[in-house]
Chains A and B, each alone.
Chain A
Amino acid sequence: MKGYLGIDVGSVSTNLVIIDENDNLLTSHYLRTRGQPIRAVQEGIKKTGADSPENLEIAGVATTGSARRLAGVIAGADTVKNEITAHAVAASHIVPDVQTVLEIGGQDSKIIIIRNGIVVDFAMNTVCAAGTGSFLDHQAARLNVPIEEFGELALKSNNPVRIAGRCSVFAESDMIHKQQTGHALPDIIAGLSEALVRNYLNNVGKGKEILPPIVFQGGVAANPGIKASFEKALEEKVTVPPHFDVMGALGAALIAKRLMSRSDKPTRFLGFELSDFQYEANSFECEDCPNNCEIVNILVGGELHARWGSRCGKWDQIEEKRTG
């Protein structure tokens, strides 16, 4: 049986899925990256290997997410794709006539506008925390509420308080003030959810034409409070797909499958055993010109396996051009 592996290595989580030839999801894993993408990929691949059917043969691999290049080298990816495209592919697969994708992850958030199955516009926020999962995480910790219960609590509120948006620093001081004046916890949490949604729509979603069907994915989609706030703000139904937290990886797997079905080359996948290899990354500054590029070396078992980071391409060994 043939399977296709998608790996999404983000700043907060590392996700892996395998799909079969009929696009059915065979395995799905969600791990914390914890600042160690190499380890997360190794561990994820090991777990995925252990969970996959015996007769499974990996016929294609794609990586995505902010560590997509690194992950691509470690796993032996057939293609490396940006997470915006991966998320759009996954959303279109689950909801074929989707027109808007809202994606909120730990450190960034995106909006993708799709018309007739084609991405026509997108925006991504990586600078400001006010519209991302880390904002919620942080406030949940302040309020001593486990993040998993955050959403359910918000739904209990009939009278959300207004909490300042724009900046998580303003939101926090506003929230403390409301706490001290005696507002109920569910009202404060519902207010926070609305503040996050307002931030997202004013910042990432600014100037975008948000039309239904709307799909909401990414780690924060686990939070029913945020989903409700989106529905209230947009006055439209918002769909959270069943695998909302691994959509990037699912998109990558679909991309791998499409690519390999058009190609007669074998996959470059290095196998499920790669957790046994010793990976190491180091870097140096090239001083051959004023660019002073930071060159990253990836070593496998002490030997140079891949290298990137130079602007002129002189140190690169794995760079490929779209031209070729």
Chain B
Amino acid sequence: MMRVTYAHMGTSTIVFKSMLEEIGHEVIVPRRPTPKTLSLGVQYAPEFACIPFKLVLGTYLETIPRGVDMIISAGGYGPCRAGFYGELHGRILREMGYNPDFVFFFPPLKKPVDFFRKIIQLKQGGSWRDLFRSCQRGLKKLKAVDDIEIRSHEIRARELKRGDTSRAFRKSLNYLEEARTTKEIEEARREGLGELDKVSINPDFEPLKVGIIGEIYVQLEPAANFYLEETLGNMGVVPKRTIFLTSFTRRDVVAHGDREAKERAEPYIPLVIGGHGQNSVGDVVHFAEDGYHGIVQLAPFTCIPEIVAKSIMPHLSKVKGIPVLTFFIDEQTGQAGVETRLEAFVDLMQEQRKNNSA
């Protein structure tokens, strides 16, 4: 048994926890990053590293003193420097005198031998059958978490009393966190969705729909994106992220990325620029064709793939007739500037919708 931890990334935490526990590890559950986590990360990170690097480092530094033997993380290929982040985190931690084991997973189809070696390391003495079952349950749970989150976004935009949906959502996640067997997970999913359906809503309200694109960490971790989806929901908007861990696992972890998004991006950006830069472009095309009213692009400050994608946005926005608002996220923790822009963006989308229907 090892004391294992990983980076906090939105709702995925509860799924990783149960999967690792099932194969016999003790999990030191990372807490959601706070401004304190950020300060800690900034203190020990290279100045020009991006915000995901700093927040993850800060998270490790908060978790390690609670007793950690092993950190699990993902490595990567291609032009985005995040592929090296795990290695760099390890070196910084070792220089600081900490010495946890690091296990980096690379896409299994690209490095199958390496992948299996790491699985064996994690699985320890357990049987393959148990491991397979645990992964199956993990995927099921991940899917349930995503289903509940997507439903919460649809409900929140229509809720009558602010905060009801967020409360019901937290309750639903608690059900799922406790669910262990396949049957329990299915039950928790149903009950969770039921909690959300109990929220009183205005059924006649036609919310605006906004697609969220951009780098994976700032999309998935609300603490890194000013709680964008909740904020939009409170303004009566249904947000839809392009990255959910279930789809990400299928497309990017196992295989070679989202082929459809890449095909849609082809006319504007025909080559791999790393990270999710190409997806960001392809996803705008998708959202525009799907009748969305606007796009919010989330990018860590200094993120090259998203900078390249952003430079294509003015043209794309014009051709596809969909407004795009980009946030470069760095160390600022003030919510006010983000809210001002979002409010103005909502005004803009409402006026455009009114104008288009007139």
Chain A positions near chain B (C-beta within 8 angstroms)? 66, 81-85, 116, 118-122, 124, 126-127, 207-209, 290-292, 310-314, 316, 319, 321-324
Min Cβ gap B10→A in Å is: 14
Give chain B residues whose Cβ lies under 8 Å from the Cβ of A312.
163, 166-167
* Structural contact, A313 and B163, CB atoms closer than 8 A: yes
* Structural contact, B352 and A118, CB atoms closer than 8 A: yes
* Structural contact, B34 and A127, CB atoms closer than 8 A: no
5 nearest CB pairs, A to B: A313-B163, A84-B344, A322-B236, A82-B343, A207-B314
6 pairs of residues in contact across A and B, judged by CB atoms under 8 Å: A82-B340, A118-B352, A121-B317, A121-B323, A313-B166, A319-B234
Name 8 extra pairs, CB < 8 A, besides A84-B344, A119-B347, A314-B163: A81-B343, A124-B337, A126-B337, A209-B314, A292-B34, A312-B167, A322-B346, A323-B159
Chain B positions near chain A (C-beta within 8 angstroms)? 31-32, 34, 157-163, 166-167, 201-202, 205, 227, 230, 234-236, 311, 313-314, 317, 323, 330, 332, 336-337, 339-341, 343-348, 351-352, 355
Q: Given that A85-B343, A311-B166, A312-B167 are known contacts, is A118 also in contact with B355, CB under 8 Å in the complex?
A: yes
* Structural contact, B311 and A207, CB atoms closer than 8 A: yes
Q: Given that A119-B347, A290-B32, A323-B205 are known contacts, is A316 also in contact with B236, CB under 8 Å in the complex?
A: no
* Structural contact, B340 and A324, CB atoms closer than 8 A: no
Q: Given that A121-B323, A127-B332, A319-B162 are known contacts, is A84 also in contact with B340, CB under 8 Å in the complex?
A: yes
What residue in chain B is nearest A319 (Cβ atoms)? B162
Min Cβ gap B295→A in Å is: 12
CB-contact partner of B314 in A83, A84, A208, A322, under 8 A? A208
Give chain A residues whose Cβ lies under 8 Å from the Cβ of B355.
116, 118
- Assembly CA distance A118 to B350 (angstroms): 10
What residue in chain B is nearest A310 (Cβ atoms)? B163
- Assembly CA distance A196 to B336 (angstroms): 25
Min Cβ gap B168→A in Å is: 11
What residue in chain A is nearest B331 (Cβ atoms)? A127
* Structural contact, B314 and A316, CB atoms closer than 8 A: no
Give chain A residues whose Cβ lies under 8 Å from the Cβ of B230.
311
What residue in chain A is nearest B344 (Cβ atoms)? A84
- Assembly CA distance A314 to B164 (angstroms): 9
* Structural contact, B340 and A66, CB atoms closer than 8 A: yes
What residue in chain B is nearest A324 (Cβ atoms)? B160
- Assembly CA distance A82 to B78 (angstroms): 41
Q: Given that A82-B347, A314-B163 are known contacts, is A322 also in contact with B352, CB under 8 Å in the complex?
A: no
* Structural contact, B344 and A313, CB atoms closer than 8 A: no
Give chain B residues whose Cβ lies under 8 Å from the Cβ of A208.
314
Give chain B residues whose Cβ lies under 8 Å from the Cβ of A314.
163
Q: Given that A290-B31, A311-B227 are known contacts, is A122 also in contact with B344, CB under 8 Å in the complex?
A: yes
Give chain B residues whose Cβ lies under 8 Å from the Cβ of A126.
337
CB-contact partner of A85 in B161, B336, B347, under 8 A? B347
What residue in chain A is nearest B204 (Cβ atoms)? A323
Q: Given that A82-B340, A321-B234 are known contacts, is A119 also in contact with B163, CB under 8 Å in the complex?
A: no
Give chain A residues whose Cβ lies under 8 Å from the Cβ of B343.
81-82, 84-85
Give chain B residues whose Cβ lies under 8 Å from the Cβ of A319.
162, 234
- Assembly CA distance A108 to B337 (angstroms): 10
What residue in chain B is nearest A312 (Cβ atoms)? B163
- Assembly CA distance A209 to B314 (angstroms): 9
Give chain B residues whose Cβ lies under 8 Å from the Cβ of A81.
343
* Structural contact, A322 and B235, CB atoms closer than 8 A: yes
